[in-house]
Amino acid sequence: MYLVVAYDITDDKRRNRIAKVLEDYGDRVQYSVFECNIARKHFLRLRDRLEKIMNPDEDSIIFYHLCRSCEIEIERMGVEKGRLSEEDYIV
């Protein structure tokens, strides 16, 4: 499963904890955006871990699930901060 995770976390400590968890599952491609190529069971674990850290009254996390054909159509411009291949992550 290929997904993009974007977040807006108001508290610095929570934001750093969220980023640290996401680093276990994918690559940071922007300051608050990660790309992950993981199995569904790992996605469910990721979502649970993030939910325990975030404050739903102040924070926002969005998961964009991309199909295989959508993944192929991704266009990048400028400095490339991270890029995944299927064999990059086995969690």
Domain limits of the chain? 2-70
Does residue 88 register a pLDDT over 60? Answer: no
Tokens 């102040």 sit on residue: 58
Q: Could you read off the pLDDT of 49-84 as tens digits, one per residue?
A: 999 999 999 999 999 998 877 766 676 677 766 554
In the three-class reduction of DSSP (H, G, I as helix; E, B as strand; rest coil), residue 47 is classed as helix
Q: pLDDT band for 91, please (50, 70, 90 cuts).
A: very low
How far, in whole angstroms, is CA 11 from its chain's centroid?
Answer: 18
Report which of 7, 10, 11 is spatially closest to residue 22, judged by C-alpha positions. Answer: 7
Fold annotation for 2-70: Alpha-Beta Plaits (3.30.70)
First and final C-alpha spacing in the chain: 13
* Per-residue confidence (pLDDT) for residue 90, from 0 to 100: 43
Element (H, E) at 28: strand 26-30
